Structure 1
Amino acid sequence: MKRSSANTGMAVRAGENNFAGSLTGILKVFSELTKFRITALVSFTTGLGYILAADALSFTMFYAIAGIFLLAAASSSLNHWQEKDTDALMDRTKFRPIPSGRIEPALALYVSLGLLVSGSALLLFTTNFTTFLVGIFTFFWYNGVYTPLKRKTAFAIIPGALVGALPPVAGWTAAGGDLLDGRIVMIAAYFFIWQIPHFWLLLMLYGNDYEKGGFPTLNRIFSPEQLKRITFMWLIGNVMTAMMIPLFLYVNYVASFIGLCVISIWMIYVSIKFLRTETERKSIRNTFIAINFFTLLLITILSIDKLIKVF
């Protein structure tokens, strides 16, 4: 009896471990399918837009953030399905859920549909119609325009950058802000411009891989040095746009303005260092990390500045 009890206990523990392992695997696949880290950043920009427009915080902010998160996750899942064949050809993407065989293409499509319906319903019934339209338009633009365009032109990122510009607009309109208000247009302009050097730095790292997938790349148009100089100009343009934000959007505290100046000077230094350094992976990667960290700091400074005033 004791041996039987011991065997039963071992079987239960093995079953628990298998369940835990399978659950972890499912969550990992879902995280990769929805590009969780990118989707989370998109949600942060939605929160920024809401905070900047609102005179007081309410649950509507969380509904807007959650709705845009679900739509962005739906868009990412659909993108995995759309690019499953090219993903299988590239070293950087061949281990994604669909090409690696961890999820069936049809299931990824169903996941996308479920997220799309959930996110749309949440925005439509908890925010307002304008926010819902901004969210749906962003979804359409990414999957219906930008994704197919990537196979046609190496400059697809320029119209595609609109996708990153719209989530803060959704947050702004959810708080009752005017869609064409100059303040949110300036914020949207920053996120539009930011995406271009962000992508081209990735291109400098993985250009050969993109060519394996059959995508047209700037590597075939420009030399590495030319591409670096062009990317440098976009990096500087991105910083200049950030420094123009206080001209359109009221910054409440001197400390916030100083913070914006400090991070802008730092990013200019990083950009110049990138230009003057030999074109190597370490330099490109460090600049890629820096431009994303700069954007995160910008979001944080602007959000805290407004939140202190609200509270």
Structure 2
Amino acid sequence: MSVIIRLTRIRLSLMVSISAMTGYFLTGSSPTWSLMLMFGGVFFLAAGTSVLNQVQECRRDALMKRTAKRPIPAGEISRPVASLISILLIAGGTVMLSLNGWIPMALGLSNIVFYNLIYTPLKSRSWLAIIPGALVGAVPPLIGWTSAGFYIFHPNAQFVSIFVFLWQIPHFWLLMIKYGKEYESAGFSSISKMLNEHQIKLVVFYWGVITSLFLMLFPFFGFSFKPLLLGFLIGINFLFVSLFHRYLFRDRSSKTIRKAFILINTYAMVIFLFLVINAFLS
């Protein structure tokens, strides 16, 4: 069982499902059977694409200390068996999303294209692979939104999707600061070939600031917040930027990048919760 848990990267798959659930609840919809189908479908698809990614990259994973203990390079499961698990998960997730309509299903399948057919092969060729990689994260909120029966191009849905896209970029680059040399030795393209660690930290920080400032464009996407909630949004953004700067530039401990990584993930979860609460209070 532990092999399956590690192979499917349960925590990552759950976070993707929570992102989709944010899109669903942002519509103000109450929990129904469609929510369960959406959550399960997104989870299975995320898990299936994660397994497929490890099948695709198992040889490179074996070259990196960070990934050498993953089930396939560690010899705990064979590539054919892992491939079968991936197919079953993707098929199950696709069927579940199809029960909510063809648009959620098509969005789910598009993520396989972005992640496994574009992002994964491109990682060894260009550091710009982070762009299709970030698009993968922008899709789940749209799956949730459309699973509730709402129009895919609604400004509220686009707002959350853009936020997740912007948030993904520093998320990737933080990994490059910590594991850039490993990635390069395994044959992956890394931004660390172009910029030194301090320069990457500057890019990461200012991109984080841009992500935070983007949230203040909410009126242009049809959102309105009560004064108390607006004050909370401003406060949480200020706190995030302050802590992010501290962890990247002032904290000298060996765990500074890990702290920044946890912070940016926590920030996204808080924003998701904030938007859902606002939807039900509006």
TM class, shorter-chain normalised? over 0.9
Question: Aligned partner of 1:63: which letter?
Answer: L
Closer/same/farther in 2, CA of residues 285 and 139 from structure 1, 3 Å limit: same
Deviation at 1:139, TM superposition (A): 1.5
Tell me the residue number matched to 1:41. 15
Q: Distance in 1 between matches of 2:59 and 2:17?
A: 29
Is contact 2:205-2:245 (8 Å) kept? yes
Tell me the residue number matched to 1:183. 156
- The count of aligned residue pairs is 282
Gapped regions of structure 1 (runs ≥ 5):
1-26
2:113 pairs, out of 129, 140, 143, with 140
- What is the 5 A alignment of 1:75-86? 75-86=49-60
Closer/same/farther in 2, CA of residues 77 and 67 from structure 1, 3 Å limit: same
1:122 pairs, out of 73, 85, 96, with 96
Establish whether residue 306 from structure 1 lines up as the match of residue 279 from structure 2: yes
Q: Distance in 1 between matches of 2:161 and 2:272?
A: 12
- What is the 5 A alignment of 1:249-260? 249-251=222-224, 253-260=226-233
Q: Distance in 1 between matches of 2:197 and 2:254?
A: 12
Q: Distance in 2 between matches of 1:269 and 1:141?
A: 33
Normalising by structure 1, we get a TM-score of 0.86
Deviation at 1:274, TM superposition (A): 3.9
Question: Which moves more between the two structures, 224-233 or 92-101?
Answer: 224-233
1:112 pairs, out of 86, 97, 100, with 86
Question: Which moves more between the two structures, 256-265 or 290-299?
Answer: 256-265
Q: Distance in 2 between matches of 1:114 and 1:168?
A: 23
Deviation at 1:244, TM superposition (A): 2.5
Is contact 1:157-1:199 (8 Å) kept? yes
1:194 pairs, out of 153, 167, 176, with 167
Tell me the residue number matched to 1:222. 195
Closer/same/farther in 2, CA of residues 153 and 130 from structure 1, 3 Å limit: same
Is contact 2:27-2:279 (8 Å) kept? no
Provide Cα deviations, 1:172-191, integer angstroms capped at 9, x if missing partner: 01111211112211111100
Is contact 1:232-1:275 (8 Å) kept? yes
- The secondary structure found in structure 2 opposite 1:156 is helix
Deviation at 1:308, TM superposition (A): 4.8
Closer/same/farther in 2, CA of residues 28 and 246 from structure 1, 3 Å limit: farther
Question: Which moves more between the two structures, 86-95 or 277-286?
Answer: 277-286
Q: Distance in 1 between matches of 2:238 and 2:25?
A: 26
Normalising by structure 2, we get a TM-score of 0.95
Is contact 1:138-1:163 (8 Å) kept? yes
Deviation at 1:252, TM superposition (A): 5.1
Is contact 1:243-1:264 (8 Å) kept? no
Provide Cα deviations, 1:193-234, integer angstroms capped at 9, x if missing partner: 101100101110111111121111111111112111111111
- What is the 5 A alignment of 1:275-286? 275-277=248-250, 281-286=254-259
Question: Which moves more between the two structures, 153-162 or 128-137?
Answer: 153-162
Establish whether residue 68 from structure 1 lines up as the match of residue 33 from structure 2: no
Which of 1 and 2 has greater Rg?
A: 1
- The secondary structure found in structure 2 opposite 1:161 is helix
Question: Which moves more between the two structures, 53-62 or 232-241?
Answer: 53-62
Identity of aligned residues (%): 34
Question: Aligned partner of 2:45: which letter?
Answer: L
Gapped regions of structure 2 (runs ≥ 5):
none
Deviation at 1:246, TM superposition (A): 5.2
Question: Aligned partner of 1:202: which letter?
Answer: L
1:239 pairs, out of 209, 212, 235, with 212
1:172 pairs, out of 136, 139, 145, with 145
Provide Cα deviations, 1:268-305, integer angstroms capped at 9, x if missing partner: 10233245327764222211111111001111111223
2:66 pairs, out of 92, 101, 119, with 92
Is contact 1:33-1:97 (8 Å) kept? yes
Q: Distance in 2 between matches of 1:74 and 1:215?
A: 22
Is contact 2:244-2:260 (8 Å) kept? yes
